[in-house]
A and B are shown apart, each in its own frame.
Chain A
Amino acid sequence: MPVLSIKGLSKSYGKINALQNMNLDIEAGNIYGLLGPNGSGKTTTLGIILGILKADEGSYEWFDGQYGEYHRKKIGAILETPNFYPYKNALDNLRIISHIKGIKQDNYDELLDLVNLSHRKMSAFRTYSLGMKQRLAIAATMIGEPEVVIFDEPTNGLDPQGIAEVRSTLTKIADSGKTVILASHILDEVEKICTHVAIIKNGAMLATGPVGSILSDDVFIELKAENMEHLNRMLSKLDWVNNISNVRGMIHAEMDPSHAISEVNKLAFENHITLTHMVARKQRLEEEFLQITK
């Protein structure tokens, strides 16, 4: 049973199509990365499924409709920026959230410990740094043991230490077995945390699936030899090397991960080719991403 099922969502702001026929199913327990460049429609998608934006077309359903119009009480979410009452302290702000969700929460201290804010729990929200605000927002999403948590660019605008802190909190949450939706344009973040990924651009879904299926396992190799022609001929005979191309006097290719780069070196040696340059590295989401969104 999908936790969230999105069918054919479209939305435009005037002439700009922010979202075109978006379809997506999110299963329980997935850590779903929503990946796309700025302005690709990530926040619009989240805004619609969180009830603050109206879709022009299409529909979505949370939890198979079992909680009716109060489904958002089972979701913890931050959209874009941390939004709290600036004149209230952390504790009072969290109390308001519990009140809306209709639960009696008494582990605020535990939550504030989780995000490292206990020492400032009595100061007004407006006195917080951006990192502290972001962390309070993360604590707020955990109120009432939600089944799903949604983060929109949670590390946006943070300093390196803040990013590290937020990421370690996110990893803790992801490990707790909740369904997580993480919108981000930072691939590294998605790659490290998520099990599934959906890539969107210009409001359209380009690819979706488990991180492994989107992210090919192929090893990327870069070779240079004195006799490039020989090398090229040799590589093209191998069925475990694909996508051979000449780039700036070098050969780029993809190699099946079941073979080792040393085999290439050995073959070259046997074929009397002297390699002057050899690099092998794992294809990263970043390259996939750039390729897909090209």
Chain B
Amino acid sequence: MNKLIHLFSLEWLKFKNNSVFILFGSMFLLTFPLAIFVGKEIKNLPPPLPNNSIFYEFPTNWEWLAYEGSWLVCFFLAFIVMNMITSEVSHKTLRQNIITGLTRKDFFLAKLISVFALCIAATLFYVIVALLIGFFHNDPYSLDGAFSDKLWVLRYFLMCLGYLSFAFMIGFIIRSPGISIFFYISYTFLIEPALKWVVHYKIFSNSSINYWPMNAVEDLTPMPLMKYTENLPRQDLDFSFLLEPNHAIVAVTIYSALFIGLAYWHFMSKDI
């Protein structure tokens, strides 16, 4: 335990005044509680949504905030994670850390702890913001209805872990700051959707296409409107294009472990 604290405080020492960390971190902290209030501008929601208080009242604020948070985590926090790893390669401080006496395992562990710390911090922030917004939206102020679906906290945490462990693996394997971010974005938004809809769907036209890693992560905290589309008359799809939450939880847990394992194996076996 002492060792973990030692490694975590080393990371803190390194990055507490890093501009990427401060910039993206503060943007995340500011945007997350504020962006949900864009909903105030939406006066007329399509049926079956009643009115814009669904964004703020328990329990639906959990899912809207989680959906919003998934975008911010996918960008801001993932960039922080990739920067945390690739900047050490480009500044050659990774080499110097090892030369100075850190073992490779320690270096890896320090980064991994930081990723978990980010996931836990982001999840706590999500819980606090959701509780505060819900609390002040109830009349009179109360936490009534806040805890009807506790699974959201776990889903949010795993969403963070899914995105960040993927960014973590890319950082360790690609190592170049620019190319890492480029690959991360193009994989998530281009390559995987293309593989999924063009290749996979042509061969197996069933719900197995939902098990692609980034899709599984997305489906942990999906766009809340998606669940209504399930009731619409189906056109060409005869299966749901959302993963069951429980399946998504299992899939993302396995994927995260895989990403972390691959990063570890690659980092331990290569020259640095």
Contact = CB atoms under 8 A, between A and B. Distances in A.
Contacts of B17: 87-88
A72 B100 contact: yes
Contacts of B93: 83-85
Interface residues of A, number: 31
Given A52-B271, A100-B97, A85 B9 contact: no
Interface stretch (B101-109, B129-137, B239-247): B101-109
A81 B9 CA distance: 26
A100 B100 contact: yes
B102 A100 contact: yes
A53 interface: yes
Interface in A88-128: 88, 92, 95-97, 99-102
Nearest to B271: A53
Given A95-B13, A99-B9, A52 B91 contact: no
Interface residues of B, number: 25
Given A83-B93, A85-B91, A52 B99 contact: yes
A273 to B, nearest CB: 61
A50 interface: yes
Nearest to A144: B101
B98 interface: yes
Q: Is the interface of B mostly helix, strand, loop or mixed?
A: helix
A259 interface: no
A239 B13 CA distance: 69
A229 interface: no
B227 interface: no
A97 B100 CA distance: 7
Given A54-B269, A54-B271, A95-B13, A87 B101 contact: no
A72 B91 contact: no
A74 B97 CA distance: 13
A275 to B, nearest CB: 56
Contacts of A100: 10, 97, 100-102
A79 interface: yes
A256 B269 CA distance: 54
Interface in B3-20: 6, 9-10, 13-14, 17-19
Nearest to B92: A83
Interface string A49-86: 01111100000000000000110111101110101111
Contacts of B150: none
Nearest to A48: B271
Interface of A: 47, 50-54, 69-70, 72-75, 77-79, 81, 83-88, 92, 95-97, 99-102, 140
Given A54-B270, A96-B10, A100-B97, 10 more contacts: A52-B95, A52-B99, A70-B101, A72-B100, A72-B101, A77-B100, A96-B13, A99-B13, A100-B101, A140-B100
10 contacts: A54-B270, A69-B103, A72-B99, A79-B95, A85-B18, A87-B17, A87-B18, A100-B10, A100-B102, A102-B101
8 interchain residue pairs of minimum CB distance: A73-B101, A83-B92, A83-B96, A72-B101, A100-B100, A53-B271, A50-B99, A77-B99
